[in-house]
């Protein structure tokens, strides 16, 4: 990734954290505390005037590897 793109991405992440502090804090806590294989992550999106839509996933070893790789990129 080129340095300019990396800086833009870092700025976007900072903005996201400022605009959604509770969600950012929650996700950081979950990632830091570790999400073991077999955990279920569920997301619900409720659009204005529409019924909620929910999806979930069971955490696989490959998901944990991806999170660790992303964490190592940040360091």
Question: Which pLDDT tens digits describe the chain residue by residue (75 residues)?
Answer: 788 998 999 999 999 999 999 999 998 898 888 889 999 999 999 999 999 999 999 999 999 898 888 878 765
Same-domain check for residues 75 and 56: yes
Same-domain check for residues 45 and 60: yes
39 φ, ψ to 5°?
-65, 155
Report the alpha-carbon distance of residue 57 to residue 70 in Å, rounded. 19
Same-domain check for residues 27 and 9: yes
Same-domain check for residues 2 and 26: yes
pLDDT of residue 59: 95
Same-domain check for residues 23 and 44: no
* Residue span of the structural domain in which 24 resides: 1-33
Same-domain check for residues 43 and 56: yes
pLDDT of residue 14: 93
Question: What is the value of pTM for the model shown?
Answer: 0.67
């Amino acid at each position: 990734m080129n340095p300019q793109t990396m800086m833009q991405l870092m700025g976007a992440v900072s903005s996201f954290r400022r605009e959604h502090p509770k969600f950012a804090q929650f996700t950081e806590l979950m990632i830091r505390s570790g999400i073991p294989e077999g955990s279920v992550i569920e997301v619900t999106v409720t659009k204005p005037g529409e019924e909620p839509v929910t999806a979930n996933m069971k955490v696989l070893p490959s998901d944990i590897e991806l999170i660790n790789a992303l964490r190592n990129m940040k360091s």
